[in-house]
Amino acid sequence: MAKINFGGTWEEVVTREEFPLEKAREVLKNEVVAVLGYGVQGPAQAMNMRDNGINVIVGQRAGTKNWDKAVADGWVPGETLFSVEEAAERGTVIQYLLSDAGQRSQWPKIVETLNEGDMLYFSHGFSVTFKDDTGVVPPPHVDVALVAPKGSGRSVRVNFLDGSGINASFAVHQDATGRAMERTVALGIAIGAGYLFPTTFEKEVYSDLTGERGILMGALAGVMEAQYNTLRANGHSPSEAFNETVEELTQSLIRLVGQNGMDWMYANCSTTAQRGALDWKDKFRDAVAPVFSDLYQSVVTGNEARITLEANSREDYRAKLEEELRAIRESEMWQAGAAVRSLRPENWKK
């Protein structure tokens, strides 16, 4: 591992420099990696490994949209594409990438397919950490590990194709073979990670659930709505309110933050923007800090896991989800967003 200084704290990380793809191929040369689930993370991780020369098969329920997607992506039924159970039986590394609710429901079948020396691989610490709710307790004769890309499946694939990769955390929960660490890191390199940093199953899921409900999705959507509604209530047009709330953030400023950091973005905007942002930053931080504290406690106590499992296990889950998403999609703010996006130069009719 390489030691890197993260803001005064030294951490050990794994990069492709000390663990190149050639080494990963050597570690995995006798493995059959079975990717179970072709939904969010499955397609990207499976295709990236296939492109990197790893022996990969996919497990997905036939007759579903995801089965058809797998076929369209070049997986061949009976050769590299199987039912979830058959793929698990054929694999020596079982990448358990079903949804959290799906992992709970399929576990009684999957656990029976695990042979001595197999590796059970996750990209989320959810099922193992909240085992009292999921029932997922790996048997002692298998390695249990995690590689969790810090981005959506789409980003994992897109970043791989452009050569940049996406950062990922990794953890070894159980080492039955004595080779769990090298297998885990090899898999992280094989799926195209930019660099790998160590964690635990518990820390991964606590940070992940907090991040999704917080700044990455829930808080972001909430503060956008609050600012948009304030501007609209004070007479600003939908176009002006959306551009000042979302478009300028996503198309300009956040890119500067991603490239060079918040200080660089501040240094390269107007003096008026600088002063206002610096004056109001702490007010926003202090206002939302109690919400984040409540959120984190709800995560670590398992409350968020129970809410998720209950909601996602209902028969009407998909219908309810679509109803909630439609409410967002049909709101004035995001209808304005659709209009604004259509006017971007790349969408102009030639």
Report, as residue numbers or ranges, the catalytic residues. Answer: 124
Strands (DSSP E) contained in the chain are 2-6, 9-15, 33-36, 56-59, 81-82, 93-96, 119-122, 143-149, 166-174, 193-198
Strand 56-59 to strand 9-15: parallel, antiparallel, or no bridges (unpaired)?
unpaired
Segment holding 192, helix H or strand E: none
Reduce the secondary structure of 58-95 to three states and give it as a string. Answer: EECCCCCHHHHHHHHCCCCECCCEECHHHHHHHCCEEE
Instruction: Indicate the DSSP class of residue 144.
Output: E
Q: DSSP character for 330?
A: T
Torsion on CA atoms 125, 322, 212, 100, rounded to nearest 10: 0
Q: What is the C-alpha to C-alpha distance for residues 103 and 100, in angstroms, rounded to an integer? A: 5
Q: Contact, 211 vs 299, CB < 8 A? A: no
What is the rounded distance in angstroms from the CA atom of residue 211 to the CA atom of residue 219? 9
Strands 193-198 and 119-122: unpaired
- Let me know how long the chain is: 350
Alpha-carbon gap, residue 37 to 95, rounded angstroms: 9
